[in-house]
Chains A and B, each alone.
Chain A
Amino acid sequence: MGSYVLRRLLQMIPVIIGATFLIFAMVFGIGDPAAGRCGERACPEAFLVQFRQEYNLDEPLIVQYGLYMAKLLTGDFGESFSGLSVAEELINRWPTTIRLAVIAVCFEALVGIAAGILAALRKGRFLDYLVTLSSLLVISIPVFVVGSLSQLVFGIRLGIFPVTATEGGWFDLLLPGLVLGSFSVAYIARLMRSTMIENLRSDYVRTARAKGLGPGRTVGVHTLRNSMIPAITYIGYDLGALMGGAVVTERIFNINGIGGFLFYGINTKDGTIVVGTVTCLVLVYLLANLLVDVLYGVLDPRISHD
């Protein structure tokens, strides 16, 4: 197990290098990074010289990238064009994003799994149709529609939740968290339902019944444990993705999280913010993936990591 984790960590290095180089090349290698820096006017020559020097723009791209990564490894994420320390900003914003992700993931896990189980046990009846149809509806509506609508209905019309979550407290983030988790709730409910239905028909569940076990044990122990595996792994991946912030949701509810920061960086054409944030996202996502793969081995004894 230990050697597996080590091997996986080593495998991450080329992935990180590849991903960061791609984003770096797209941000700094394509077009003129200084374009539009000075509003409508052309930039003064003195500014351009200083700008080029600061970001090593006169060097070849690969050297620029190398210099950037060398600084990154010492924890220096550089400064944004407006003078913010990117590292500091990321550290300040992360707790909000984590809170948001935790709300979304708890919602997904509790509601999604429960709905899936109920639908599977009531297959072909009202509750099943309710779950499958409503989840299909949620899956097919994009998150910005769900977000804006719920902001309008629950925030403005009904006034139950704050309209924006600029402060980033737990209660403020509740509605954005539910919006953020809505797609995955629907997906997990469907996933759980189909695995559960499949497992209820399996030979080992028939064995459980032949052993004279009651419905509680047959479903609760012998079916559930196996059926949870796909849902739990999906939730793990999702946690990784959400930890990296939710650009659209954070934007709608004006949340000062990682996603909002990335959005700000893209909007102001600030390469330092974009590359620094994306590097962190890649790292978090890869670690979440590793965690899920390790967890998979724990949940399913047939998967061996040796």
Chain B
Amino acid sequence: MSDTLSETDVARGESSWTPTDGRLLDVEDLQVEFRTRDGVAKAINGVSLHLDEGETLAVLGESGSGKSVTAQAIMGILDTPPGFITGGSVRYCGTELLTMTEKQRREIRGPEISMIFQDALSSLNPVFPVGWQIAEMLRVHRGANRSDAREAAIRLMERVNIPGARQRVNAFPHQFSGGMRQRIMIAMAIALDPAVLIADEPTTALDVTVQAQIMALLAELQEERRMGLILITHDLGVVADVADRIAVMYAGKLVETADVHSIYAAPAHPYTQGLLASIPRLDQKGQELAAIGGLPPNLTRIPPGCPFNPRCRYAQDVCRHDPPPALREVRPGRRAACHFAEDVLADSAREFDHPHHVHGDGGEERR
């Protein structure tokens, strides 16, 4: 343990960044569009989030809802062109990132905010040894020499529980299993002890037992280092144990934000309700899995009114013509962007509070 601490001190260096009131990240009204041949895709349409020290924020949504784009915009690794940030602000410890020069951004990317990705095999460079790729962080950002950086890489690999780290430091990514590769990504991301870690679907490509191990490791590292963690996922099951707060995205907008317990108890937005209903449950064997009908909108042609209206069972005329309300407080600490949030909450409370009532007819099948 003392080993890890001294390592942390070395890696931390002299960070000039201190959060005010524990606030690490503040994203306000972020807008991102992709200018493609087929037209302009409005990927992010005014997203506001914040992240505090030691906090885990889960960003939920289907593919194409803008989760990953939000993360890439925060990191400043959006492919430009075609992606452009057209408005809003991203502040780290109170300092605006979007107006910084690329060189200044690079001093934050890695040492302060770092990121892990979904597919660790393709995200690691296939032609360099894993230890080299971890050590590169220390060599580039801290000017560490080869052997020091290598030692640090071995300690980081040990920290993320890679067995035989010293023997495997020169192995290549393809020589590891999926779970081990993701651990290497994590070791690389925490190498400089960043204050914020963004995990973009870190467990999607892994099988279930390994998923749990990786989530436990992330939670442990976060606890140990007081990192702010942004966990991007479409898997509600993954979120429940680790997240403090949840932000649900749809068509480039936040539709609901809440703390983790209240959202599971009673979602306030029809989309969240649909997502929760689609979780497979052990006590509902043999029943058809609920799914949200229809598809997410094409971002080049977002429907008028509320983008969710074509799939929404609460939709009324107002939803088809007027834009949805801004996120508004529907309960203390809970905000939803829906005209009928109260109705949804009421329905949710009935369904989700008494789960046995809903599938009581399957009772005799259970033992």
Contact = CB atoms under 8 A, between A and B. Distances in A.
B200 to A, nearest CB: 10
Nearest to B174: A302
B123 A206 contact: yes
A203 B123 contact: yes
B123 A299 contact: no
Contact of A210 (B115, B122, B127, B141): B115
Contact of A211 (B79, B109, B174): B109
A206 B118 CA distance: 12
B201 interface: no
Nearest to A201: B79
Nearest to B115: A210
B116 to A, nearest CB: 9
Nearest to B76: A209
Interface stretch (A35-43, A99-107, A148-156, A212-220): A212-220
Interface in A272-306: 299-302
A208 B125 contact: yes
Contact of A212 (B117, B122, B128, B141): B141
Interface residues of B, number: 30
How many chain A residues sit at the interface, stated as a range, is: 20 to 34
A226 B123 contact: no
Contacts of B126: 204, 226, 300-302
Given A210-B115, A212-B110, A226-B127, A301 B174 contact: yes
B349 to A, nearest CB: 41
B172 A301 contact: yes
Contacts of B185: 207
Contacts of A214: 103, 106
Nearest to A210: B115
B108 interface: yes
A195 B77 CA distance: 21
Nearest to B134: A211
B107 A212 contact: yes
A52 interface: no
B109 A212 contact: yes
A125 to B, nearest CB: 12
A213 B139 CA distance: 11
A214 B124 CA distance: 17
Contacts of A226: 125-127
Given A203-B117, A206-B77, A206-B117, A213 B127 contact: no
Contact of A207 (B105, B106, B124): B124
A222 interface: yes
A122 interface: no
Contacts of B109: 209-212
B75 interface: yes
B114 interface: yes
Contacts of A222: 125
B193 interface: no
Interface in A175-206: 201-204, 206
Nearest to B79: A201
B11 to A, nearest CB: 14
B188 interface: yes
B100 interface: no
Contact of B137 (A203, A211, A299): A211
B62 interface: no
A212 B125 contact: no
B235 interface: no
A213 B140 CA distance: 7
Contacts of A211: 109-110, 114, 136-137, 140, 188
Interface in B64-106: 75, 77, 79, 103, 105-106
Contacts of B77: 206, 209-210
Interface of A: 201-204, 206-214, 217, 222, 225-226, 299-302
19 contacts: A204-B122, A204-B125, A206-B77, A206-B117, A206-B123, A207-B124, A207-B185, A210-B109, A210-B110, A210-B114, A211-B109, A211-B136, A211-B188, A212-B109, A214-B106, A217-B140, A225-B128, A301-B172, A302-B172
